[in-house]
Chains A and B, each alone.
Chain A
Amino acid sequence: MNLLEIRNISKYFGGILAVDNFSMKVKENQLIGIIGPNGAGKTTIFNLISGITKTTSGKKFFKGKEITFLKPSQISKLGIARTFQNLRLFRGLDVISNVEIAYTYRMRYNFFQALFWPPIVLSENKKSRNLAKESLNLVKVPTKYYHEKPTNLPYGLQKRVDLARALSLLPQVLLLDEPAAGLNPYEVIELIDIIRLIQKEYQRQNLSIILVEHRMEMIMKLCEEIYVLNFGKTIAKGSPEHIQSDKNVLSAYLGGEY
């Protein structure tokens, strides 16, 4: 069974067709890449999958159930987590609380218990803190930053906090929106290792990762299947070797005459 299936989704912004008939099937334990020039509709696809933007037409399925009309919070609770291209960390919360946020919906205490702090609140809080520490540890954020505000961290680390936050949701599908944007070459190599590590750690949960990226080298190294977009259209799809020799892809990236 497909973990996630996107069936012919389209999105119009006013009169502009941002995503045209995009389809995608994601199986368990896959690493899929989406590439394309600026404005190709990559991030829009993520917004459509996570429910932040409403689809104009088409359907989405998660584990065989339709999720087309669900709210972003419901979709993320089902197990589709995402990171953001332009960091959207919570500035008022420290790093570890930022990561804990994604776990709060699993914490089993209600409003009145939150007012009086019976033992269950303490044990649940402890559980969420431990999970947050695990996630932060996995993406290699040093312990000394746990109680800093995220804006005080270097950019590369902030991106990893964002990644840890998505992991705390205990997802089945992880959407990474340009995780390497703004990182220096050394940090990119580190990031590739981290993504591989995540994939290994979460193999038991059958985690699949979808990666939107500009950097060819990263996509080529990591992904087993690649979708290439241009002006909202899927112009090619297949293994890295296949993509590298595809005529349409070369012309979209390098210009018509090649």
Chain B
Amino acid sequence: MSFYQGLIILVVINVIAVIGTFLLTGMTGLLSFGQASFMALGAYISGMLAVKFNIPFLLAILMAIIASVFVGFIIALPVVKLRRDYFALTTFAFGEFLKAVLNQSVAITGGATGLAGIPFKVNIWIVLISLIIVILLVRNFRNSKFGKECLAIRDDELAARSCGIDSSRKKMTVFLFSVAVTSFAGCLYGFYTCYIDPSMFGWTKSSELVIMVFFGGLNSLTGVIIGTTFLTLSLEILRFTGAWRMFVYVLIMIILIDFRPQGVFGNWELDGRTFEKFLHIPSSIIFKKEK
């Protein structure tokens, strides 16, 4: 496999993880600083199923996602009732807690030395198809009543509640969906790198995911996809700057937050209406969507 293929695979896996974060942080306004821990859950559960029980690749992923959603449910029970800053702190704490558990349980997970010997299953086609499926599902979710309700909760929870929206329940739904998508990205990551260790999924990874959502645009799926691709690639492109790499990266972020706090793409979305506006093509030709 060439260097470029490997790069594309990493970018795509990252995009899937960021889309998972986007559901929570972008659409519902809940700042999640423990998102990488759900990647860890996916990667570890599917990896251990494959290594220790020889369970086939697809089944392992499916089981891992279900298990992660279950863990997510238990965490979410108290967490969805919290306000956004407390939500951020609690998810952050869970992330560090999980990392500590993975580090300590040497007999099961391999501890700090990591879990090795995961079969190499992921190629470029698998990740691309996964990405398309995830984008379509998230897009459908966003255009459905659930998407609107999430945005309403983000903008004004009190008003949303007096419009008949049970905010805790909706937050739970979107939280579990987000966990499923993020842990799926974790599964793919495990089956691509064949080796995982807890330090890959610490709070730095979590904040990276959140930063990418903010960069792309808080309210734009298109923005999140393009923004994440750009940022992940630019980290590679900036490699020639050596020690200055992180500095340049941070500089880009600071400039962005100062001049465009809503993210590069803001609210802009590539959809039927865009085609109508710029190409004067009625959207019904391209997208079968209600108008």
Q: Which residues of A contact B (CB under 8 A)?
A: 50-52, 71-77, 81-82, 84, 88-93, 97, 100-102, 104-105, 107, 109, 111, 114-117, 121-122, 124-126, 128-129, 147, 165, 169
Contacts and interface: CB of A to CB of B under 8 A. Distances in A.
A82 B162 contact: yes
Nearest to B161: A72
Contacts of B158: 52, 72, 88
Contacts of B156: 88-90
Contacts of B155: 89-93
Nearest to A90: B155
Nearest to B288: A122
Nearest to B219: A92
A104 B173 CA distance: 15
B290 interface: yes
Contact of A84 (B148, B149, B152, B159): B159
Interface in B153-170: 154-156, 158-167
Interface of B: 137, 140-141, 144-146, 148-149, 151-152, 154-156, 158-167, 173, 177, 219, 267, 273, 290
Given A52-B158, A109-B145, A121-B144, A92 B165 contact: no
B148 A101 contact: yes
B167 A73 contact: yes
A184 B155 CA distance: 28
Contacts of A102: 163-164
Residue in B145, B146, B162 with the greatest tally of chain A CB atoms within 10 Å: B162
B15 to A, nearest CB: 19
Contacts of A109: 144-145
Given A92-B154, A114-B140, A101 B149 contact: yes
Given A88-B156, A90-B159, A92-B267, A104 B140 contact: no
A117 B267 CA distance: 23
Given A91-B155, A102-B164, A104-B148, 16 more contacts: A50-B162, A51-B162, A72-B161, A72-B162, A77-B164, A88-B156, A90-B152, A90-B155, A92-B154, A100-B148, A101-B148, A111-B177, A116-B140, A117-B144, A128-B145, A165-B163
Given A90-B156, A101-B148, A128-B145, A115 B164 contact: no
Contacts of A124: 145
Contacts of A165: 163
A104 B163 CA distance: 9
Nearest to B174: A111
Given A77-B164, A104-B164, A97 B290 contact: no
A76 B162 contact: yes
Nearest to B142: A114
A interface, by DSSP: helix, strand, loop or mixed? helix
B169 to A, nearest CB: 9
17 contacts: A73-B166, A75-B162, A76-B162, A81-B162, A89-B159, A90-B151, A93-B148, A97-B151, A101-B149, A101-B160, A102-B164, A104-B148, A111-B177, A122-B290, A125-B144, A125-B290, A165-B163
Contacts of B166: 71, 73-74, 105
B144 A92 contact: no
Residue in B152, B164, B290 with the greatest tally of chain A CB atoms within 10 Å: B164
A73 B164 contact: yes
Residue in A75, A90, A97 with the greatest tally of chain B CB atoms within 10 Å: A90
Contact of B161 (A71, A89, A107, A126): A71
Contacts of A75: 162
B202 to A, nearest CB: 31
A115 B141 contact: yes
Nearest to B149: A104
B161 A114 contact: no
A126 B144 CA distance: 11
Given A52-B158, A92-B219, A93-B152, A114 B163 contact: no
A114 B145 contact: yes
Contacts of A82: 162
A107 B152 contact: no
Residue in B159, B161, B163, B219 with the greatest tally of chain A CB atoms within 10 Å: B163
B145 A169 contact: no
A81 B161 CA distance: 11
